[in-house]
Structures are given as C-alpha cells and as structure tokens.
C-alpha cells in the first residue's frame, strides 16, 4: 500500500475540510451541523455510518470493512469548539460569533476524514474493521463516555488511536511515545461555614476569609509534604469568593479549583487527603466545611505495544526523523476513558511555526496551525489502522 502517494493525493481535500469546520464551529453537544457535514462527506465516500440515537444526537460512528477477516481498530477525532471570539484575520475565520475552534478540533475532523478516504481506497487489502469515531463534547469531558454508550463499536474494538494537534511541538514532528501523556483532571469546590459579625468585633465571629485563606495555604503544602517529589501533582485554587461589605466579617467563603496528576494511586487518595487538611484547618478556627469533589478525567496513558506500532507506522511514510519525544502535559483529555479499557495510543501532531502565526497557545483567540502538517496527521491515522490490522 503506497500510503505516501494517497496522503499527497488527498492533502487538498484535508485542507478544504479543515477550513470549512474552522469557519463553522459549534460548542459541546451542539455539533448538529458539524455532524451533518461529516455524514455528508462519508456518504460521498460510500462509507457506512451511524449517528447516535441518544440526545443530543451529535457525533458520527463510521465503519470501513476490510476484505479479509481480522481484528478491529478505532480511530477517534473530537469535533467541538470553544466559547472564544476569534481574532485571526483569515478567510476561514469563524462566522459563529463567540465560538471558535481554538483548540484545533477542526483539524482533527479533517485529518480523520482524510484518513477515511485513504482507508476506503485500500479496504480490499485490509484484514479487519476500522471504526471512525467523530466524538462530540471533549471540551467538557463528557463526549467519550457518550460515544462508548452508542452501539457495540467499543466492545468490538481491539485497539484505538487518537491524536491532538499541538502548538507545543514543531511542525513536522509527531510525538507517540508510551506511558504518561496527559494528566487526570479533577474539579472541586470548598465551602467554609464560619460566623459573621461586625468588623469591629472579630472576637464574636469565625472569619471565613481568614479560615479560607488558611485552607488555601495549607493545600499548597499538600503536594510537597504528602506525595513523592518524583510524582507530578498540582493543586490549584482558581476562585475564592467571600464577603460583600467592608465592615462585615464574612461567615461564608467558597473556593473552586482543580487537581492534576498522572498516578491512579494518587487519584485514589487525593480527595481523602484534602478532607484531612481542610478539616484540620477548620477545626483549629472553629469553622465547618463542605468539600464537593468531582473526578472528571483519568490520566491518558499510552500502551507500550500500541505506541511501538504507531512509531513504526509514522516512520513508514514520514521517515525516522518525524518522530519526536515530548514531555507529558498536565492538560486533560477524555480519550483517557478509552485507554482505561482498551490498549491504544494518543499522539501529538506538532503544528508550531511562528512564520505562519502558529505560535499562540491552545484556547487563545489567535490560535492557529501550520496547515502543512495536516496531511501527515491523516496519514498517521490511516497507517496506524493498516499496520495494527495487518500485523494482528
């Protein structure tokens, strides 16, 4: 199979699709027109697909049957955009006010559609089945579980590959190494209950501002004095609200924040550790508290064998210099839900190129990519599927 020539053949199509989806972004679980367009493109290719029957009925599950029996591989792209007002002056600028593909999911859709065209052309040489998973609502961490509930594709899947365009990596490079790649992402809120009173009589109150401030300080030491310095853990307080008047000592305070870590063992104990620290502080001040802790995403951990297949696949069409190692990131990904149950690999497709303005961070209103990398991103999807199926 001459994948390199098929990549070249379809690169204009991939670019066209990227610009279409960039111009027409939709938010999480609102991707109705995006779903319709993906379905139209699969129709043109003659690829069978299903649209979820569960509300809100966004996302697409395509399937390509190889001519020979074999295993099943799934390829996943996320499709949702963000509440960001685009500031790029480009012909394909978002036409949906306040909405933008500021994370690059438009490129993921186009790369997977490009891979679908490639795989459809070589399906007579495939040993097994390929599922094409166009997943909604990654940005809110709900889309992967939603897609897992749709039909039996996930139960059938033997391996899964996904990727993310990545401005932290130079254009032309793709990172596919095994092990920890993205962190677990938890969310929490803390309510402090003290006793309000007059600002001139603090002895008659339990000052929620003081208690909350002490909680913030104590939680900053949770990591450094409870977990190994070799583990990556962050505890972040993102908001703190208390009080409403200059001469009233506040009786209530509320904080929200997020924890990030890679170790599932840490995930199993971090809520208990936070409770212990917060309770100790509140007891010392005579306050009480409530901790509401939500586990949003687990860590994204690449399977060793799957990463090996992916790296060899990349080298086949792009050469050995195309692979680049990259530090794991404390960003979160709901692709982690797939990897909890199935072996697979999550790659990072480098797109940084200051010469074309591709240097702004993800979620920034000026975010953009070096579009020359999209063809190889599509090739990576296709070659991984081909190699996994034909080697197994």
What does the DSSP assignment read for 158-215? SEEEEEEEEEEEETT-EE--SEEEE-EEEEEEEEEE-B-EETT-GGGSB-HHHHHHHH
Average pLDDT, the chain: 97
Q: Is the pLDDT assigned to residue 17 strictly greater than 70? A: yes
Q: Is the pLDDT assigned to residue 31 strictly greater than 90? A: yes
| pLDDT for res 372 | 97
Assign 1 a pLDDT band (cuts: 50, 70, 90). low
Those residues whose C-beta lies under 8 Å from the C-beta of residue 333, and which sit 6 or more positions away, are 138, 164, 182, 297, 300, 346
From residue 375, give the alpha-carbon distance in Å to each of 10, 61, 69, 165, 297: 8, 22, 28, 12, 30
Q: What are phi and psi of 334, to 5 degrees?
A: -80, 0
List, for residues 156-193, the tens digit of each pLDDT value.
999 999 999 999 999 999 999 999 999 999 999 999 99
Give the residue-averaged pLDDT of 238-250: 97
Q: Is the pLDDT assigned to residue 346 strictly greater than 80? A: yes
Q: Which two tokens stand for residue 382?
A: 């296709």
List, for residues 279-288, the tens digit of each pLDDT value.
999 999 999 9
| pLDDT for res 380 | 98
Q: Is the pLDDT assigned to residue 102 strictly greater than 80? A: yes
| pLDDT for res 391 | 87
List, for residues 36-94, the tens digit of each pLDDT value.
999 999 999 999 999 999 999 999 999 999 999 999 999 999 999 999 999 999 999 99
Q: Is the pLDDT assigned to residue 121 strictly greater than 90? A: yes
Active site residues: 80, 138
What percent of the chain has a predicted confidence (pLDDT) above 70?
Answer: 100
**Ordered domains of the chain (ranges, CATH):** 3-181+299-391 (3.40.630.10), 184-297 (3.30.70.360)
Q: What are phi and psi of 11, to 5 degrees?
A: -65, -35
CA distance 136 to 139: 9
């Amino acid at each position: 199979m001459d994948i390199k020539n098929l990549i070249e053949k379809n690169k204009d199509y991939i670019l066209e699709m990227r610009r279409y989806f960039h111009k027409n972004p939709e938010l999480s679980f609102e991707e109705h027109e995006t779903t319709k367009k993906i379905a139209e493109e699969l129709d043109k290719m003659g690829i069978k697909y299903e649209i979820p029957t569960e509300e809100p009925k966004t996302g697409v599950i395509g399937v390509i049957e190889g001519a020979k029996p074999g295993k099943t591989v799934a390829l996943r792209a996320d499709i949702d955009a963000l509440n960001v007002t685009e500031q790029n002056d480009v012909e394909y600028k978002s036409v949906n006010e306040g909405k933008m593909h500021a994370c690059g999911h438009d490129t993921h859709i186009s790369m997977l559609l490009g891979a679908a065209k490639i795989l459809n052309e070589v399906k007579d040489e495939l040993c097994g089945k390929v599922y094409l998973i166009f997943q909604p609502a990654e940005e809110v961490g709900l889309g992967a579980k939603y897609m897992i509930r749709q039909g039996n594709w996930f139960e059938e899947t033997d391996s899964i590959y996904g990727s993310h365009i990545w401005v932290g990596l130079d254009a032309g490079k793709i990172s596919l190494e095994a092990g920890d790649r993205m962190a677990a992402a938890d969310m929490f809120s803390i309510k402090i209950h003290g006793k309000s009173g007059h600002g001139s009589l603090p002895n008659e109150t339990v000052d929620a501002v003081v208690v909350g401030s002490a909680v913030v300080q104590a939680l900053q030491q949770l990591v450094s004095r409870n977990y190994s310095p070799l583990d990556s853990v962050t505890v972040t307080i993102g908001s703190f609200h208390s009080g409403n008047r200059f001469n009233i000592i506040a009786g209530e305070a509320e904080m929200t924040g997020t924890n990030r870590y890679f170790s599932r063992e840490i995930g199993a104990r971090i809520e208990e550790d936070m409770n212990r620290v917060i309770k100790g502080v509140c007891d010392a001040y005579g306050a009480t508290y409530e901790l509401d802790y939500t586990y949003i995403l687990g860590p994204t951990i690449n399977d060793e064998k799957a990463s090996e297949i992916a790296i060899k696949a990349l080298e086949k069409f792009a050469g050995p210099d195309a692979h680049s190692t990259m530090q794991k990131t404390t960003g979160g990904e709901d692709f982690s839900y797939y990897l909890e149950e199935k072996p697979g690999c999550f790659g990072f497709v480098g797109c940084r190129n200051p010469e074309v303005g591709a240097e702004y961070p993800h979620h920034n209103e000026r975010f953009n990519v070096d579009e020359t990398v999209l063809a190889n991103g599509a090739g990576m999807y296709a070659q991984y599927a081909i190699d996994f199926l034909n080697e197994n």
